[in-house]
Amino acid sequence: MATQSAVHISEFDRETEVEAAGEGLWRAEISAGWNIGQTPNGGYLLAIGTRALSRALPHPDPLTVTGHFLARSKPGPMQIKVDVHRPGSSTSTASALMSQDGEPKVALLATFCDLSRANGITRHDDGPPELPPLEDCLAYEGGPNEALAMQQRVEQRFAPQSVGWTRGELNSRSDMRGWVGFADGRAPDLLSLAFFADCFPPAVFTSMGPVGWVPTLELTVHFRAKPSPGLLRCAFRSASITGGFTEEDGELWDSDGKLVALSRQMAKVLRWG
Amino acid sequence: MATQSAVHISEFDRETEVEAAGEGLWRAEISAGWNIGQTPNGGYLLAIGTRALSRALPHPDPLTVTGHFLARSKPGPMQIKVDVHRPGSSTSTASALMSQDGEPKVALLATFCDLSRANGITRHDDGPPELPPLEDCLAYEGGPNEALAMQQRVEQRFAPQSVGWTRGELNSRSDMRGWVGFADGRAPDLLSLAFFADCFPPAVFTSMGPVGWVPTLELTVHFRAKPSPGLLRCAFRSASITGGFTEEDGELWDSDGKLVALSRQMAKVLRWG
């Protein structure tokens, strides 16, 4: 049975696994399979931290998770220390600190709940972002100087306007949108939304071209609902950059047209060279 | 000299003071002057936590601060425990836990920097939110069942459309905008933006009326620039509610037309009993 499950387990499930390593301690093995260049993707790390938090908290579902990226991580062992602040009745809150060789890499703060009990008002002023049908959307495999190992893990198709920058065609606003799912066919779930919220090229590329490295300093994901199987529809937008600091606001909708997550990150736009 | 400074110190400065109380420990006195009903305003608490963090970290300016509100706070003593994760060269990151009588109330995660050294790209796709001139905007002192002590501390003037709900006139979208500053004339600074990001009535009131209590579960503020003296122009918007959970996205601009902060909170819309 162990052999059978090892055969069927998805890349994302296997490579976000956490194992107990003592009181409030967890251990993960960061895979190089989600790298952007030499650096593991921030959303992938956030998903691992969120998975450790889910093991430590009594509620099943992440509701809001914030990660601060302190230093570049690398593939290999990661230790995760979890401090539970309040195991409440309807929500519970905890912090986590992810470290490699004793050096802090990612700090998290998260509140969990049971989304199946969220029975309050539902009201959406807008529908999912407009996207051409999948067959009219385009793949992007990374530029000539990029080694996007992560692209092997995801199925991604961008609105043609969102990859105009790869041909030198820039838009007036930063708006990166497309379809996304796992390349191995694993269905999206709540945990995976932490990753999908950070797996598109920076939205600022659509208006400014590939101006530089845009590392994530902080990423917050609001989880709204469990996604249905099928590709997600996503849009990421940046409207302001001040002294190099920009926001990137994301919305993730499932194949049923349901809003499943909102994200906002603070990133730094660092010009090449 | 102590007497003189006690005379001139602003309400906000005095009532967000923190004093050292041991290794990594700070102590504040929560004032009832910033209450909404019986509960201190969340942004006021976030400002106090941010002030404790600023004392513990080597960088002068908050860059991104997230607070999770675990349980209702009350006026009186608050203990703040700060854990510094990384006192880096360009940014530094720390967590804080605010407690009363040993019960955790607010958990924070923050990254600080020196904004005067932020010399990267600046680009804004949009200007400040449109607002009628101050003399055409309206005060809102709270409804008949509300005791908004906080309103005595702020000078607030709303766009007439944003307070239509007080006369039963609802808008199609949730959009709460207006001018704001301190009633005692204290100029806004970065720290005060943590408070101003949470001092307007809930944006959902503009489209749904005063449907209920809308407690903040989590509030994240991105600090962009030091505000110039004068009233801030703010707009807060909510576009989606799922099972009672909503986002409220804020933008805060200063009197010079400069974006000084973005905020996003997750709140719960709880219908009145």
Please name the member of B95, B119, B269 whose beta carbon is closest to the beta carbon of A121.
B269
- pLDDT of the residue at A3: 45
Q: Do A64 and B88 touch (CB under 8 A)?
A: no
Contacts of A64 in chain B (CB under 8 A): 68, 217-218, 266
Contacts of A240 in chain B (CB under 8 A): 123-126, 224, 259, 262
pLDDT greater than 50 at residue A30: yes
For residue A226, what is the nearest residue in chain B, using CA coordinates? B242
pLDDT greater than 60 at residue A211: yes
Q: CA quadruple A57, B53, A47, A204: dihedral positive or negative?
A: positive
Interface of B with A in 203-222 (CB under 8 A): 208, 211, 217-218, 220, 222
Q: CA quadruple A66, B190, A215, A180: dihedral positive or negative?
A: positive
- pLDDT of the residue at B65: 98
Size of interface A-B (CB pairs under 8 A): 185
Interface probe with A: pick from B81, B100, B121, most Cβ of A within 10 Å: B121
Band of residue A34 on the pLDDT scale cut at 50, 70, 90: very high
Fill in the amino acid letter for B252.
Answer: L
Q: Do B109 and A107 touch (CB under 8 A)?
A: yes
pLDDT greater than 60 at residue A134: yes
Q: Provide the 8-state DSSP code for B210.
A: S
Shortest distance, CA B47 to any CA of chain A (angstroms): 18
Shortest distance, CA A94 to any CA of chain B (angstroms): 8
Please name the member of B68, B120, B245 whose beta carbon is closest to the beta carbon of A93.
B68
- pLDDT of the residue at B11: 96
pLDDT greater than 60 at residue B257: yes
Task: Please tell me whether residue A132 adopts helix, strand or coil conformation.
Answer: coil
Shortest distance, CA A101 to any CA of chain B (angstroms): 14
Interface probe with A: pick from B242, B248, B262, most Cβ of A within 10 Å: B242
pLDDT greater than 90 at residue A237: yes
pLDDT greater than 70 at residue B7: no
- pLDDT of the residue at A226: 98
Q: Do B245 and A71 touch (CB under 8 A)?
A: no
Please name the member of A70, A93, A208 whose beta carbon is closest to the beta carbon of B86.
A70
- pLDDT of the residue at A273: 64
Mean pLDDT throughout B101-111? Answer: 98
- pLDDT of the residue at A144: 56
Predicted confidence (pLDDT) per residue in B187-237, tens digit: 999 999 999 999 999 999 999 999 999 999 999 999 999 999 999 999 999
**Mean of per-residue pLDDT scores for chain A:** 94
Write out the E strands in chain B. 18-20, 25-30, 35-36, 39-40, 61-69, 76-87, 91-100, 103-113, 123-124, 154-158, 174-182, 212-213, 216-223, 232-238, 240-242, 245-253, 259-268, 270-271
Residue B183, chain A, CB below 8 Å: the answer is: no
pLDDT greater than 80 at residue A265: yes
Contacts of B211 in chain A (CB under 8 A): 121
Contacts of A124 in chain B (CB under 8 A): 239-242
Q: Residue B156, CB half-sphere, CA atoms under 13 Å: how many?
A: 23
Contacts of B123 in chain A (CB under 8 A): 208, 240-241
Contacts of B91 in chain A (CB under 8 A): 217
Residue B167, chain A, CB below 8 Å: the answer is: no
Q: Do A123 and B241 touch (CB under 8 A)?
A: yes
Among residues of chain B, what percentage have pLDDT more than 70? 95
Band of residue B141 on the pLDDT scale cut at 50, 70, 90: confident
Give the residue, A150 or A257, on which the prediction is more confident: A257
Nearest Cα neighbor of B64 from B229, B266, B261 is: B261
Please name the member of A86, A109, A172 whose beta carbon is closest to the beta carbon of B66.
A109
Task: Give Cβ neighbours of residue A174 (< 8 Å, ≥ 6 apart).
Answer: A203, A204, A205, A206, A207, A208, A237, A238, A239, B125
Band of residue B1 on the pLDDT scale cut at 50, 70, 90: very low
Mean pLDDT throughout A253-259? Answer: 98
Please name the member of B86, B123, B222 whose beta carbon is closest to the beta carbon of A104.
B86
- pLDDT of the residue at B49: 98
**Mean of per-residue pLDDT scores for chain B:** 94
pLDDT greater than 90 at residue B140: no
For residue B122, what is the nearest residue in chain A, using CA coordinates? A242
pLDDT greater than 80 at residue B104: yes
Kindly report the three-state secondary structure assignment for every residue of A160-209.
Answer: HHHHHHHHCCCCCCEEEEEEEEECCCCCCCHHHHHHHCCCCCCCCHHHHC
pLDDT greater than 80 at residue B28: yes
Mean pLDDT throughout B148-165? Answer: 93
Band of residue B143 on the pLDDT scale cut at 50, 70, 90: low
Q: Provide the 8-state DSSP code for B129.
A: P
Contacts of B203 in chain A (CB under 8 A): none
- pLDDT of the residue at A140: 85
Contacts of A208 in chain B (CB under 8 A): 121, 123
Shortest distance, CA B229 to any CA of chain A (angstroms): 19
Strand partners, B87: B92
Q: Do B270 and A211 touch (CB under 8 A)?
A: no
Band of residue A171 on the pLDDT scale cut at 50, 70, 90: very high
For residue B222, what is the nearest residue in chain A, using CA coordinates? A266
Q: Do B86 and A95 touch (CB under 8 A)?
A: no
Predicted confidence (pLDDT) per residue in A118-132, tens digit: 999 999 999 999 999
Band of residue A203 on the pLDDT scale cut at 50, 70, 90: very high
DSSP A77-127: EEEEEEEEEEE-SSEEEEEEEEEETTEEEEEEEEEEE-GGG--S--EESS-
Among residues of chain B, what percentage have pLDDT more than 90? 89
Mean pLDDT throughout B92-110? Answer: 98
